[in-house]
Structure 1
Amino acid sequence: MSNWIIGIDTGGTFTDVAALEVTSQTLHVTKVPSTPDDPSRAVLNGLTTLMDEFPAVTAGEIQFFAHGTTVATNALLEHKGVTAGLLINRGFRAVYELRGGLRPVGADAIDTFWRKPGPLVHQRHIEEIDGRIAFDGTELRELDEAGVRAAVRRLKENGVAAIAVVYLFSFMNDAHEARTAQIIREEFPGCRISLSSVILPVIREYQRTSTTVVDAYVGPVIENYLRRLSTGLKELHLTTQQRFIMQSNGGLMRVDMAANYPNQTLLSGPAAGVVFSAQLGGAVGEPNVVTFDMGGTSTDIAVLVGGEYQENRDGSISHQDVGTPMIHINTLGAGGGTIARIGPDGLLKAGPQSAGAAPGPACYGRGGELPTVTDANLVLGYLEPHALVGGKVKLDANLSREAIRRHIAEPLGLSVEEAALGIIAIVNVNTEVDTRLAFAERGLDHRTFALVAFGGAGPVHAARVARNVGIPRVIVPPHPGISCAMGLLQTDVKHFYLRSHPASLPSLRATTINQLFGELRERALDEAHAEGFAPDDVELQYQMDLRYPYQGYELTIPCKAPPFLDSDKEAVRRAFDDAHLRVYAISAPQETPEVVNLRLVSVSAVPHLTLPDVPEGDGSTVAARVGTRRARFEEFDDYIDTPVYLRERLRRGDTVEGPAIIEQLDSTTVLLPRQKAEVVRFGTLIITVEA
């Protein structure tokens, strides 16, 4: 009997599918258009298409299913979450409205039309509640239960579908929040409830509030999506219980648990691409990489040093602050579907608005009339009109030319070709700025990195971006358009459990540390059991977040598993001093560090994808070359005959000189003049940017 593992990643334009038979290491990939009105349909269509194209894959033989989704992200980006309410301590209703002093950064700082993004919960849906928990967890004033009931009734009458509950110091004592949840269930059955003591039980009031509000805002959307997906998978007779969804932290969680923690799926899709890049970079001898994941609607950039990705605990998605641990990824609105326009200042712009999958770029012929990046690439000859997604999507260059002429070229007094070059230049500059900033904010030298280009549009633009930024090499994976789906099959089930307990390290008793770690361990093992893992299958990693007195930030330090002894504190202290010196080039051993959070990470191993290798070539690329196509590059004044190669015919050791175009089912790689691509392990392309 076969043993298939499946990864499906839903993007803004296409949904990608990767399937591996574990025993024979047989790999199949395919793509289908995304369905923005109901993303679960695209997942089911992708699974059906896979089984139709490759009859060896049957639902009954699928033992493992992993999924990456942008549903939660899109709910924030497109403001399509539910109407949510907020219960907060009396006197603190402005905490969320102030938004942590939000101000424009990056390109927004010079945008004269920038406006502060609005909150997800408006003041009319914020209710103040009497009752107070002190900083040490003691009760100062009893919870006003009658006030809670009245507030919940008002919110219900005002049409809210979810309620966030955020009380002061609930991470030290959650009694008031727990009782409030009971009252909400009594007064408002079926209402989504998000408690800060469950979602993010840590200090820093605003960050905890914002994260809990995000959870309430997207929670019902995720619940409905997962319900439709589960029903559809059942109808396809996919019966395996090993069904997982990608989290923002780079690990998986069971699909049926994701509805309880929707805020942990905000970077579900992009996180899988980072995991894949870390694995591939190490395999081809490039541990320092920067990801360039350019899909249909956005570009995701992450810097990995030594194959390790950076964790962010103070992130922002669509200007909504989130404190849930997630991979540090910079996202900008630049993709194949990005719409080109003339801005209020009369200058050419590209993004962040996208044509998405419906109606899509003008060349799709589905009713889209606005010019996009894909339309510009088609006009410039980089894309084959009949080869996109193996011929499943036909492109009409005449529609692209007309859209660019009408909306860009004529208003600016340019030719269609000049306008197309301008669109590509603008979108490339946008990604180059964010790539440079990703290095600058960490003080890293971009010349010691390679750029991993994936996503359907990534390899089209990567060579130019790398050349302009000064990155010496570009890595193009074997299946760049499916890389996020493949990344879903290269990680493990991972969960983070946190508990704030501020105290100086010497004064925090070992018995208290063991008690708190014990509570986290019990929760971790309970959830692991719900996901089908035995206690012996779960690796537990114990950590502390420490800081020096008066600091506003902390570092995570590993510590020994319980029983933790008072004598173990000195080793933790030395490790913190060393880490602070390594990260900030300074330490203060004479200071007494403070414990901020206790942290537990649980990791449960699941089957992994192993990339198959390609045969050794004879040094000739004649068999891979299928002709030429007229293409326009910045380096030339006109179109030139550009060699075109089929990626699947290239063999290990083959080299391709630029300018050239390399086509495959899921993407197109564009080589510029004076560049060279070499086929290495797994069929990976290594592009020398200045050959």
Structure 2
Amino acid sequence: MKRISVDIGGTFTDCFFVWDETYVEAKALTTHHNLALGFNEALDLACSRAGLDRGTVLTEVDSVRYATTLGTNALIERKGPKVGAIVTHGFEDTIPLSRGRGYGEGLDYSMQQNLPAAERPEPLVPRYLIRSVKERVNSAGTIVARLDPEDVRTVVRELVDAGAEALVVSLVNATENPEHELAIQEIILDEFPAHELGAIPVLLGHQVSGRKGEYVRATSTIVDGFLHEIMFHALSQLSNNLRDAGYGKPMLVIHNSGGMAQMNSTDALQTIHSGPIAGVGAAEHLSNETGLGHVISTDMGGTSFDIGLVPEGGVKHYDFLPTIDRWLVSVPMVHLDTLGAGGGSIASYDRIHNSIKIGPESAGSNPGPACYDRGGLRPTVTDADLLLGYLDPDNYANGYIKLNPKRSRFAVEENLCDQLDMDVLAIARAIKDGVDEQMAIGIGKELRVRGYLPEDFTMLAYGGNGPLHACGIARHAGIKQILAPPFSSVFSACGAGNMKQLHFHERGVHITMYNATSRSLYDKYEEFNAIVEELEARGREDLVRQGFAADDVKYRLELDMRYGNQLLTQAVALDINRMNGVGDVLHMIRTFGDVYSHRFGASSAAPEAGIRVGTVRVASYVDGDVVNFDSLEAGGERTVPTEVSHRKVYFIGQDDSIETPVYDQAALSHERVIPGPAIVTTENTTYLVEPGWRLEPTVQGAVWFLQD
């Protein structure tokens, strides 16, 4: 196996390089103006560590996989083209109204309750760029009012004249019959041919989302259209960079569904949060391989802190109506909770509470924290870590970045000391403790709302800053056991290397699996199987187009089910793909009951209310080679290694500094134990062992944090 996997984050570009039995990790600063430059720098470093030439690597490597936060950043910054929308006549206000509760989507609970301050997000499609066409398809897919081509031409010209640079078409009931959406696309391409100057992207709602729900399908298509241009140019830039360097295969892009595909089979919407989700995929793989049990994955990088949940058995949680930025969309996406808390998170003065506010604003990679000495003037979490003695100024990122403690001290003094009437070290302690608490609250909320207790979980601490803050987070969250996984500093990139090529296809349906009124079971087996076969055919077509044999494609059937008229819908993965009789119907109902009871309690299931299916979904995938994780056990006697130096370190809860032993990479042997307090500095990260904890490395390269 020869593979390059890259996770392009807001601050660092992480590279995980596999060359037969050699595994190499490398990092470089993200170059936002040209992502290819940061990729080249990270790959060059990985090649030098492996003793290989970049040209040789790119001509012989099996695949190159990209995960990127570029789409996320573009949404946050509202950097995108003017998007025009074409809808069914009479539905022009569906998008601006946003189900009446759009003000709260994407906000935390306290902000959702603050109705006097409720403010809808700035629309991606302003009202003047929404036009309607006279047409109508009913819920059964029958055309009630035919489309008028001249009406369409008039609407398209009006939108282009008004400045639209991309067009989305989202018509009522197009998932049941897409004839009119396809006809509008044909008319637009006739007016503005793709091969001529002035051509504009056209996206159709039924192709982006096959689920019912006019508003969420429209917003999904609009977000996709808003990101289309920037993602196309950025990914093309990366692809051309690979081609110029001698790589001749298609570039693979990680999807937020937990899979990946070639660039020509990727929607911009599918790239949102793809990097952190690759880390959740790696956590699932690690849990399955090692029997780790309940896992909460935590990725602390330079810009954000991403939380993923993998209960025992390695089953990820999915969101089928996730909120991206401030917009509700209908794409299957691995559940992820993201906090604006990372090494680059800026600490500022909160005048209302007379305290320190940390994040969500980040210094990123340019200019970066003040200690990077690249022009940053505001204090960050990394500056606090440096002032407290956790980081080695001369050996940060393997000496790639030299840190300047004077800059950190100056930034804290100028921005916080006078306002808070505290000294520099007290403020640094407050920043460290505050960000740890903030992340612990996020973990506790994520677990408790799903019925879990933090003490029952192992926390996976990865990302460049994960092992540095792991003990502090666990202290606040009540977690007793931490694991820094193998390749922890580039664990999300490692997860990208393990991804399958996978596609989700779904269709909204109205199926009553059990009718409580007539006490009858669903019996239209051929109709149900025809829907599944259609979705499997679409998935098979996607994968065959990417070079796979049809016989290698596997399928997993999922249903969105609910009891009676409940609003809550539960996604259920099934172990059968067809319905051939009463026994199969009962098996599906039983599986739904088991999943529902496991999540909400044994007595919560209510089949007497009836059982309904709202969505049929098929995951089509092809298995591939993966990086294997061995057992995390390590037997035998352990000894304390010899430290390489000492330095004064300030810990939370300790009044004075502690003369703390410092170790290097050689100390992380499975024959060693490192009692706290201690610091271990490696090429890509720093392990901070707080008082009351100890480190126990494993053979595989993972490191346990255990309480004494």
Shorter-chain-normalised TM-score: which range?
Answer: over 0.9
The verdict on how the C-alpha distance between 1:53 and 1:584 changes in structure 2, with shifts beyond 3 A counting, is: closer
SS at match of 1:511: helix
Q: Do 2:321 and 2:328's aligned partners in 1 also have CA atoms closer than 8 Å?
A: yes
Distance (Å, rounded) in 1 between the aligned partners of 2:641 and 2:596: 55
Q: Which of the numbers 186, 192, 209 marks the counterpart of 2:218? A: 209
After TM superposition, the structure 1 stretch with the greater mean CA deviation from structure 2, 109-118 or 440-449, is: 109-118
- Deviation (angstroms), 1:486: 0.7
Counterpart of 1:289, as a letter, is V
Q: Do 2:26 and 2:43's aligned partners in 1 also have CA atoms closer than 8 Å?
A: no
The verdict on how the C-alpha distance between 1:661 and 1:576 changes in structure 2, with shifts beyond 3 A counting, is: same
The verdict on how the C-alpha distance between 1:433 and 1:616 changes in structure 2, with shifts beyond 3 A counting, is: closer
Distance (Å, rounded) in 2 between the aligned partners of 1:344 and 1:81: 34
What is the identity percentage for the equivalent residue pairs of Structure 1 and Structure 2? 29
Q: Do 2:436 and 2:476's aligned partners in 1 also have CA atoms closer than 8 Å?
A: no
Distance (Å, rounded) in 2 between the aligned partners of 1:110 and 1:364: 40
- Deviation (angstroms), 1:53: 4.1
> Residues 49-79 of structure 1: CA distance to partner in whole angstroms, max 9, x if unpaired?
3334433352222112222111111111222
What is the match of residue 686 of structure 1?
704
SS at match of 1:442: coil
What is the match of residue 582 of structure 1?
598
Q: Do 1:513 and 1:564's aligned partners in 2 also have CA atoms closer than 8 Å?
A: no
Distance (Å, rounded) in 2 between the aligned partners of 1:313 and 1:249: 10
User: What is the correspondence of 1:113-132 to structure 2 with a 5 Å cutoff?
Assistant: 115-132=119-136
Distance (Å, rounded) in 2 between the aligned partners of 1:339 and 1:138: 56
Q: Which of the numbers 292, 314, 321 marks the counterpart of 2:321? A: 314
Distance (Å, rounded) in 2 between the aligned partners of 1:367 and 1:117: 32
> Residues 402-433 of structure 1: CA distance to partner in whole angstroms, max 9, x if unpaired?
01110011222111111111222222222122
User: What is the correspondence of 1:179-190 to structure 2 with a 5 Å cutoff?
Assistant: 179-189=183-193, 190=199
> Residues 192-232 of structure 1: CA distance to partner in whole angstroms, max 9, x if unpaired?
22211011111122221221111111111111111111110
The verdict on how the C-alpha distance between 1:40 and 1:159 changes in structure 2, with shifts beyond 3 A counting, is: farther
- Deviation (angstroms), 1:366: 1.1
Say yes or no: does 1:365 pair with 2:373.
yes
What is the match of residue 98 of structure 2?
99
The verdict on how the C-alpha distance between 1:642 and 1:36 changes in structure 2, with shifts beyond 3 A counting, is: same
What is the match of residue 548 of structure 2?
533
Q: Which of the numbers 188, 205, 214 marks the counterpart of 1:196? A: 205
Q: Do 1:382 and 1:670's aligned partners in 2 also have CA atoms closer than 8 Å?
A: yes
After TM superposition, the structure 1 stretch with the greater mean CA deviation from structure 2, 516-525 or 395-404, is: 516-525
Q: What is the CA RMSD across the aligned residues, in angstroms?
A: 2.2
What is the match of residue 443 of structure 2?
435
Q: Do 2:87 and 2:171's aligned partners in 1 also have CA atoms closer than 8 Å?
A: yes
The verdict on how the C-alpha distance between 1:91 and 1:347 changes in structure 2, with shifts beyond 3 A counting, is: farther
Distance (Å, rounded) in 1 between the aligned partners of 2:591 and 2:340: 40
Distance (Å, rounded) in 1 between the aligned partners of 2:283 and 2:511: 39
What is the match of residue 362 of structure 2?
354
Say yes or no: does 1:72 pair with 2:71.
yes
Distance (Å, rounded) in 1 between the aligned partners of 2:548 and 2:110: 46
User: What is the correspondence of 1:373-452 to structure 2 with a 5 Å cutoff?
Assistant: 373-452=381-460
What is the match of residue 264 of structure 1?
270
- Deviation (angstroms), 1:125: 1.3
What is the match of residue 290 of structure 1?
296
What is the match of residue 41 of structure 1?
37
For these two proteins, the number of residue pairs brought into alignment is 682
Counterpart of 2:356, as a letter, is L
What is the match of residue 12 of structure 1?
10
Distance (Å, rounded) in 1 between the aligned partners of 2:493 and 2:448: 30
- Deviation (angstroms), 1:607: 2.1
SS at match of 1:391: coil
> Residues 68-120 of structure 1: CA distance to partner in whole angstroms, max 9, x if unpaired?
11111111122222221111122222222223303243353588977442222
Q: Do 1:633 and 1:672's aligned partners in 2 also have CA atoms closer than 8 Å?
A: yes
What is the match of residue 276 of structure 1?
282
Counterpart of 1:342, as a letter, is Y
Q: Do 2:529 and 2:578's aligned partners in 1 also have CA atoms closer than 8 Å?
A: yes
What is the match of residue 638 of structure 2?
619
What is the match of residue 672 of structure 2?
654
Distance (Å, rounded) in 1 between the aligned partners of 2:153 and 2:580: 43
Q: Which of the numbers 325, 343, 349 marks the counterpart of 2:350? A: 343
Q: Do 2:433 and 2:472's aligned partners in 1 also have CA atoms closer than 8 Å?
A: no
Distance (Å, rounded) in 1 between the aligned partners of 2:237 and 2:62: 21
Q: Which of the numbers 48, 51, 54 marks the counterpart of 2:47? A: 51
What is the match of residue 332 of structure 1?
339
SS at match of 2:704: strand
SS at match of 2:299: strand
Distance (Å, rounded) in 2 between the aligned partners of 1:361 and 1:107: 30
- Deviation (angstroms), 1:148: 2.2
Q: Do 2:211 and 2:330's aligned partners in 1 also have CA atoms closer than 8 Å?
A: no
Distance (Å, rounded) in 1 between the aligned partners of 2:12 and 2:548: 33
User: What is the correspondence of 1:488-527 to structure 2 with a 5 Å cutoff?
Assistant: 488-505=496-513, 506=521, 509-527=524-542
Counterpart of 2:345, as a letter, is T
- Deviation (angstroms), 1:554: 2.6
Q: Which of the numbers 622, 633, 658 marks the counterpart of 1:640? A: 658
- Deviation (angstroms), 1:637: 1.6
Distance (Å, rounded) in 1 between the aligned partners of 2:502 and 2:369: 38
5+ residue gaps, structure 1: none
After TM superposition, the structure 1 stretch with the greater mean CA deviation from structure 2, 580-589 or 399-408, is: 580-589
The verdict on how the C-alpha distance between 1:188 and 1:339 changes in structure 2, with shifts beyond 3 A counting, is: farther
Counterpart of 1:195, as a letter, is L
Distance (Å, rounded) in 2 between the aligned partners of 1:670 and 1:113: 42
Q: Do 1:431 and 1:465's aligned partners in 2 also have CA atoms closer than 8 Å?
A: yes
Counterpart of 1:684, as a letter, is A
After TM superposition, the structure 1 stretch with the greater mean CA deviation from structure 2, 526-535 or 634-643, is: 634-643
Say yes or no: does 1:570 pair with 2:586.
yes
Distance (Å, rounded) in 1 between the aligned partners of 2:421 and 2:66: 46
Counterpart of 1:426, as a letter, is G
What is the match of residue 244 of structure 2?
235
Counterpart of 2:234, as a letter, is Y
Distance (Å, rounded) in 1 between the aligned partners of 2:611 and 2:635: 56
Structure 2 length normalisation: TM-score? 0.92
What is the match of residue 677 of structure 1?
695
What is the match of residue 555 of structure 1?
570
Distance (Å, rounded) in 2 between the aligned partners of 1:633 and 1:99: 48
SS at match of 2:397: helix
Distance (Å, rounded) in 1 between the aligned partners of 2:260 and 2:610: 37
- Deviation (angstroms), 1:465: 0.8
The verdict on how the C-alpha distance between 1:507 and 1:305 changes in structure 2, with shifts beyond 3 A counting, is: closer
After TM superposition, the structure 1 stretch with the greater mean CA deviation from structure 2, 229-238 or 109-118, is: 109-118
- Deviation (angstroms), 1:626: 1.2
Q: Do 1:298 and 1:331's aligned partners in 2 also have CA atoms closer than 8 Å?
A: yes
Counterpart of 2:254, as a letter, is M
SS at match of 2:307: strand
Q: Do 1:616 and 1:651's aligned partners in 2 also have CA atoms closer than 8 Å?
A: no
